[in-house]
Structure 1
Amino acid sequence: MPASSLHTGQPRPASASRQLSRPLVAGIVTALVGFTSSFAVVLAGLRAVGATQEQAASGLLALTLAFGLGVLWLSWRSRLPVTLAWSTPGAALLAGTGVPDGGWPAAVGAFLIAGVLIALTGLIPALGKLMAKIPTALAQAMLAGVLLSLCLAPFKALGTAPLLVAPVILCWLVMMKLAPRWSVPAALLVALAVIGIYIVVNGVDIPVNRLLPGLQWTTPAFTPTTVAGIALPLFIVTMASQNIPGVAVLKSFGYTVPWRQSMLVTGAGTALGAPFGGHAINLAALSAALAAGEEAGEDRGRRWIAAFTSGLAYLMLAAFSAALVTVVAAAPPGLLEAVAGLALLGTLASAIASALAIAEERMGASVTFLIAASGLSFAGIGAAFWALAAGILVRWVLKNREPQK
């Protein structure tokens, strides 16, 4: 055998296999981390605005199907590692809002309006420019205020049920040291183990029919208070905390997001999923780096395969949505909220840092944060709207005050 053939036989297929396996693995990891690290937040948000267990399960399924299919379409068409996710900050906003006037149907109507607004940012450039005029410090302060009560939940639960919550927090802390990316998924696994033990010890009955996924229709209702108190804050926090950072993350890896297509897909996906309980989908921010970075392979032109694979993985994870909701519903009080709070600690820290980064913006941001955290409700409209309105007012007054002589 000629010596040259020894160098042209095996190495090439092995190299090709490695080039394909890396984006495939990266895509699966993206889906696992994206789903397990924040689904507890989504459930907490949907239940807080009036969803029953079945409606929350339907919402989780609708969201996962919507952004899973959206990722497949966007990544295939653009050949870019574009990934989508549900709006975790939006779910946190819902968790601090409470049941609106009109109940769950009114919340669903607000989700639909938020979806329309997201789609319009892709169709009407002026709307995107208007969004850009909202001060980042105030938007992040509003988000931080909304997150505060959820992030306090693990430590409040530690005082009421230390034997149940302590293992979850300890696991999270250890994994933050060893493998930060997997800290929340690992904490979730420990929480599920705790729930399993709790179910067995207390003889909790779990209906088998609730383990199967299914979509449940809710006819949307529209009220002025939910438009102002849920739809607009949900739109703002999703754009400011997910879509805009998602564009920045991909840009940092040298990719330009197809903005118009992405907004149309996420807006339409949100609107279509709303009657089934889905609150909002958007460009992925944190998990986007997993599919766009070097972990998805050295060949930047093939990293779209990681995003496409994550879309397939999300569709498979959707099959477990009802089972997760059913198991979590049997959890002891405070455990789900504890996992959700741990999942949001990093987001809270980033939001506070961004809100207070500029000295001139700190007073307006502080007022926004405090009102959002207070849970203020006036005229049927929740704290998020009033927080942003008050922050803009304070910022305007202080920006236009006459200098002291």
Structure 2
Amino acid sequence: MSSHQQHGSFSPFKRIPADFSVSALIVGLIATMVSYAGPLLIVFQAAKAANMSDALLSSWIWAISIGSGLTAIVLSIRYRTPVITAWSTPGAVLLVTSLSVYPFSDAIGAYLFSAVIITLLGVSGLFSTIMRYVPPSITTAMLAGILLSFGVQVFVSLQELPALALPMIVCYLLAKRWMPRYAVVFSLLVGLIAAFLLNRFELGGIQVALVQPIFTLPTFSLDAIIGLGIPLCIVTMASQNAPGIGVLQADGYNTPASPLITTTGVASIVLAPFGAHGINLAAITAAICTGKEAHPDPSKRYIAGIACGAFYLVFSMFGATIASVFSAFPKELIAVIAGLALFASLSSSLASAMSDVSQRESALITFLVTISGISIAGIGAAFWGLVAGVIANLLLSGDVRKWVARKGNHP
């Protein structure tokens, strides 16, 4: 068990008020904002490509939001770890081109098939067994590769909208020196003020309405299962759950993978008839919540996971409306605050990845493959980065099995 996780005989709920912090609350909000400002827009694209009705789209957003919220809260409290869950972003990308090919009820059946397979992988412990073959330097190198583009976007935004980005960066650096715990919080406030003064909020398209979930009876076709269900399962496990576990490990949380995968799988099964294409572990937004920006004490960062889940639940009630709210924010604001919130995770991941001299080249290969953005068989670069790193490590040193044996002797 990780040193970050301390279990006593008392109820975990009793610790929440004492462990609460404003920084964890704000970091949880930022993680939610990043989810809605980016990955949710892919859901909109998929719905538009399939000519989906506004009612079905609203139900879909409600389902993935409430599923992410409930699982994040339950798992964060249960393991006192900032377990951040989300909907499958690569899965949504897959749906942009695939959803229109099948009847919607067949797509729901494919979602259920994918969710059942993912749940079985969690219950059986097979996923945990596979992850034990990946050395920590390689998982942290993969994480660094995932986060790199977010750090770069801070300075791309500086070129595109300096009047917004520069005050945010300067505020972050000054606060990092004098009040490091609230550096991201102050930077967000400065960004909101700057966006307001620059008249960069586009509020005209916002319409507020409560969601009405729609239940769709699933049907099952072999074509949809093969063409949609199996690829959805593969990309979710390889491009979301594997990096999600890597994020937790990179910040020292040795939370067992099986119950996390199982819980998100069960949530996906329950919510699939309402349109949820998959609930899984988050990577990018998780890194925002697992780092020092949430709280200096790692054992109190789970509050960020609870906060993120709570914001998901609040936003879920407004379905498609919430995306229009975040789309009203200037894209530079979202890019800068996400990048700044990930600075600590990016720097620690790079340092950790290169700390073991014997695995430095393997970690470098993982990092380079991950940032390359390659996609093979519909599976993203993060997974292929892991594969390349493990193979390189085996070829260079042949010590993968020895490392697994050492880990087995020292849980």
Deviations 1:190-214, CA, capped at 9 Å, x for gaps: 333344445x57875133236x567
Residue in 1 that maps onto 2:156: 156
Counterpart of 1:393 (choices 380, 384, 391) is 391
Alignment deviations for residues 376-401 of structure 1 (CA, whole Å, 9 cap, x no partner):
23454432233223222322221259
Hey, what's the Cα distance between the residues in 2 that align with 1:130 and 1:202? Answer: 46
CA distance in 1, matches of 2:121, 2:138: 20
Give the unaligned 5+ runs of structure 2: 1-12, 48-53, 101-106, 219-223, 400-411
Distance 1:140 1:384, change over 3 A: same
Q: Distance in 2 between matches of 1:276 and 1:118?
A: 14
CA contact (8 A) 2:111 2:276 kept: no
Counterpart position of 1:146: 146
**SS state of the match for residue 207, structure 1?**
coil
Are 2:362 and 2:389, in contact at CA under 8 Å, matched by a contact in 1?
yes
1:103 aligns with 2:101: no
Give the CA deviation at 1:281.
Answer: 4.0
Q: CA deviation at 1:177?
A: 2.8
- Give the distance between the partners of 1:365 and 1:338, measured in 2 at CA: 27
DSSP-derived class of the 1:280 partner: strand
For residues 340 and 377 of structure 1, do their structure 2 counterparts lie closer, same or farther at Cα, with a shift above 3 Å needed?
Answer: same
Other-structure match for 2:242: 236
User: Partners in 1 of 2:112 and 2:194 — Cα distance?
Assistant: 36
Shift in Å, 1:115: 5.7
Q: What is the CA distance between 1:157 and its match in structure 2?
A: 0.9
Offset from partner CA, 1:158-197 (integer Å, 9 cap, x none): 0121012222222322332344343333333333334444
Alignment of structure 1 residues 78-97 onto 2, 5 Å? 81=80, 84-86=83-85
> Which residue does 1:345 correspond to in 2?
343
Q: State the partner residue of 2:354.
A: 356
CA contact (8 A) 2:68 2:85 kept: yes
**Distance in 2 (alpha carbons) for counterparts of 1:258 and 1:400:** 26
- What code does the residue aligned with 2:35 have? V
Which residue of structure 2 aligns with residue 280 of structure 1? 280
State the distance in 2 between where 1:126 and 1:371 align: 25
Pairwise mapping of residues 137-286 of structure 1 onto structure 2 (< 5 A)? Answer: 137-198=137-198, 200=199, 204-209=203-208, 212=210, 222=228, 228-242=234-248, 244=249, 249=253, 261-270=259-268, 272=270, 275-276=275-276, 279-281=279-281, 286=289
Distance 1:195 1:306 in 2: 26
Which letter does structure 1 place at the counterpart of 2:66?
A: L
Q: Decide which structure has the larger Cα Rg and report it.
A: 1
User: CA-to-partner distance for each residue in 1:332-382, whole Å, 9 max, x for gaps?
Assistant: 343322222222222212221222121111111111111211222345443
Instruction: Give 1:185's aligned amino acid.
Output: V
Deviation at 1:317, TM superposition (A): 6.2
Give the equivalent residue in structure 2 for 1:335. Answer: 333
The answer to whether the 8 Å contact 2:116/2:265 transfers is yes
Three-state SS of the structure 2 residue aligned to 1:205 is: coil
SS where residue 84 of structure 2 aligns?
A: strand
**Separation of aligned partners in 1, 2:258 and 2:398:** 36
Q: Which runs of 5+ in 1 are unaligned?
A: 1-19, 252-256, 297-303
Displacement, 1:236?
A: 0.7
Query: Shift of residue 282 of structure 1?
Result: 6.8
TM-score, length basis structure 2: 0.66
CA-CA distance at 1:277 after TM superposition = 6.0
Equivalence for 1:368:
366
2: CA distance between counterparts of 1:48 and 1:311?
Answer: 19
Amino acid at match of 2:264: T
Deviations 1:211-268 (A, max 9, x none): x5676889997166655555412121112223x568x54x8xxxxx787655432332
Structure 1 residues 361, 49: CA separation in 2 closer, same or farther (over 3 Å shift)?
farther
Fraction of identical pairs, as percent: 27
> Which residue of the other structure, out of 43, 66, 82, is the alignment partner of 2:36?
43
Instruction: Give 1:99 deviation, angstroms.
Output: 3.9
Secondary structure of the corresponding residue to residue 391 of structure 1: helix
Residue in structure 2 matched with residue 10 of structure 1 by the alignment:
none
> Is contact 1:49-1:99 (8 Å) kept?
yes
Contact 2:231 2:378 in 1 (8 A): yes
Matched residues in 2 for 1:346 and 1:44: separation?
21
Does the 8 Å contact 2:71/2:85 carry over to 1? Answer: no
Q: Is the CA contact 2:206–2:321 (under 8 Å) kept in the aligned structure 1?
A: no
After the TM superposition, which of the residue ranges 227-236 and 123-132 deviates more from structure 2? 227-236
Aligned twin of 2:66 = 65
Mapped to 2, the partners of 1:83 and 1:181 lie a distance apart of 17
Cα shift at 1:154: 1.0
Does the aligned pair in 2 maintain the 1:119–1:267 contact within 8 Å? Answer: yes
CA RMSD of aligned residues (A): 4.9
Mapped partners of 2:57, 2:117: distance in 1: 23
- In the alignment, the residues of structure 2 paired with residue 40 and residue 310 of structure 1 have an alpha-carbon distance, to the nearest angstrom, of 9
SS in 2 for 1:166: helix
The corresponding residue for 2:128 is 128
Task: Return closer, same or farther for 1:152/1:105 CA change in 2, 3 Å cut-off.
Answer: farther
In structure 1, what is the Cα distance between the partners aligned to 2:41 and 2:202? 27
Native 8 Å contact 2:315 2:322 kept in 1? no
Q: Distance in 1 between matches of 2:172 and 2:351?
A: 22
